Each structure stands twice: as structure tokens, then as C-alpha cells.
Amino acid sequence: MGIDQAIDPYTGEYLSARISHLGNAVYIRLATPLGSWWADPSIGSRLHELARSKDLPRIGVLARQYAEQALRPLLDDGRARSIAVEVEQPHDGRCLLLITVEDATGREATFQHPVRVS
């Protein structure tokens, strides 16, 4: 498994830290609009569609569903053993996804991914 430079989920910029887990794969699958990546239109999520949605409880449910759909290929191809998605909705114009991924080696990592809502 290669070691990649980490991506900041809040800015999309590379960090000085390096990672050896699925952090970048999680970020790319959540931050990329579904169907927009030229190399593989199946990579991405529908989370960007929530940017114009009102900050209602049902948006948290949709955010969780969209994230689970986007991350499902990591389970299907065996890179992850399990993925759990929780949503915090502080009602300040964003949902915060808390994603816990157990990789194929049994190592667990938790990621935060903000989703902008109106």
C-alpha cells in the first residue's frame, strides 16, 4: 500500500502530514460530485446537492445516505472491512459527517467531512 499526502477536508489542500490509510479515498469519494471525475464517473457523491437545502433534520438523513453510497465501493473492493457514518447537525449551515473506517488490515481511522447546507 502506498503512502499519500493527506488532504484537508475543510480546504481540499494537501497537508504536510502523510497518510497510509484510506483517508484520501474517503475524501475524494465524498468531495467529488458524482459523475464529474473524468477518469471514473462512478466515483463521487451527491453531497454537493445539499448545499441549497435548508438545514432540516431530513438533510442529516440524506447526508448519511449519500456518504454511505459514495463509500460503498471501498467495501466492495475489499479495501475496507467496515464503514460507519454518523451525522452531527449543529444547525450552523453545515452537517458534519463522522466516518469511521476499518481498513483491510483491521486498522481503524475516523474522518470528519463537513457538508454545507443553507
**pLDDT band of 97, cuts 50, 70, 90:** very high
Candidates 8, 53, 15; CA nearest to 31 is 8
pLDDT in tens, 34-89: 999 888 899 999 999 999 988 888 999 999 999 999 999 999 999 899 999 999 99
Question: What is the per-residue pLDDT for 105?
Answer: 87
The model scores a pTM over 0.85: no
In the CATH hierarchy, which fold is given to the domain comprising 4-116?
Nuclear Transport Factor 2; Chain: A, (3.10.450)
* DSSP codes, 81-96: EEEEEEEE--SSSEEE
Where exactly are the structural domains of the chain?
4-116
**pLDDT band of 90, cuts 50, 70, 90:** confident
